[in-house]
Amino acid sequence: MTTYLPAIATIALLYGALGLSLNLQVGRTGVINFGHVAFFGVGAYGTALLTVNGVSLALAIPLAAVLGGLAALPLGWVAARLTSHYLAIVTIAFAEALRVLLQNLEVTGGPSGIVGVPRPFGELEPDAFSAVWVVLAACLLVLTYALVRVATGGLLGLNLAAIREDEPASAMLGRGVAAYKTLVLVWGSVLAALAGAFYAHWIGFVTAEQFDPRVTFYIWAGIIIGGASHAGAWLGAAAIAAVFEATRFLGDFGITVFTETQLASLRWIVIGLILIVTMRVRPEGLLPLRPRHRLRADAKSRTPDPVVKGVPISDA
């Protein structure tokens, strides 16, 4: 298993970045998106198609991220008009429709996908290659974290928090709810596509099976367990991905009680039990949002000035 530790770390970091991009929509704005994997796939297919046709890597990855944002625009238009479980159903349908389309188009390689995607630093020795990609994945996570922090800070963060807490009230106060919901869907999809582009160049090929609805479930489970804070979202998603990948190598430690099929089912059982316990014991997650007004409660209580209550903002 130790041979595969860098690969497990890389996939965990990539999924951590994916968790941050989804948490911007779900945890920070309250936009229910069950089709986030679609934009992960758009980024992977986008950069694969561009690079195998001669586009430079430095140009292909940003273009793939932009393509992910453009693909989210129709979904943003729908999100502005739907809420709650209605939006959830639409996002699932959108992701599945896109996956089937990618699987059947000739330009995307059909069921065989696209092979021969350029792998940066592929000329290095395997150990050096793995180490470099762990660093690259960590840099992607830091970049995603910084871009999400920008979106959730200042006045924009205040408006997103207001929509999350009470969307009808936010609309009545004149906030452009539709515009903000579209913005976070597009911004989160750009970040998801960026993660997908990194994933494609790391693994070297893309197929539609890599982007099935289970990926979205992994990320959702990570956010529920870790919490809707920035740290909780990426740590939870990374931990879920690491567990799923690491348990593939239990046989290396002499644990041969379960067959591969049984082990695959056992992973889901364990994650399900963790979700149940988390929802019962700590429904807000292990690292929940920290409302700023709570952090400043002591300071406010020492002053006689009246405090005007506003929409709580989170800054975890």
Q: What are the pLDDT digits (tens) for 182-241?
A: 999 999 999 999 999 999 999 999 999 999 998 999 999 999 999 999 999 999 999 999
Whether 275 and 221 have beta carbons less than 8 Å apart is answered as yes
* Residue 278 maps to a domain: no
Rounded Cα distance between 24 and 301, Å, is: 32
Residue 289 makes CB contacts below 8 A (sequence gap 6+) with: 27, 227, 228, 229, 314, 316
* Residue 212 maps to a domain: yes
The CATH number given to whatever domain includes residue 13 is 1.10.3470
The range of the structural domain enclosing residue 227 comes to 2-242+283-289
Q: Provide, rounded to the nearest whole percent, the portion of the chain with pLDDT above 90.
A: 57
Overall domain count for the chain: 1
Q: Would you state the pLDDT for residue 253?
A: 60
The residue assigned the tokens 């693994």 is: 203
pLDDT at 247 over 80: no
* Residue 107 maps to a domain: yes
* Residue 125 maps to a domain: yes
With bands split at pLDDT 50, 70 and 90, how would you rate the model's confidence at 46?
Answer: very high
Q: Residue type at 120?
A: P
With bands split at pLDDT 50, 70 and 90, how would you rate the model's confidence at 305?
Answer: very low
The residue assigned the tokens 């989804």 is: 22
pLDDT at 2 over 70: no
Whether 19 and 233 have beta carbons less than 8 Å apart is answered as yes
260 or 196, which is more confident? 196
Whether 39 and 184 have beta carbons less than 8 Å apart is answered as no
Whether 223 and 34 have beta carbons less than 8 Å apart is answered as no
* Residue 269 maps to a domain: no
* Residue 185 maps to a domain: yes
* Residue 276 maps to a domain: no
pLDDT at 295 over 50: no
Rounded Cα distance between 282 and 297, Å, is: 23
Whole-model pTM?
0.87
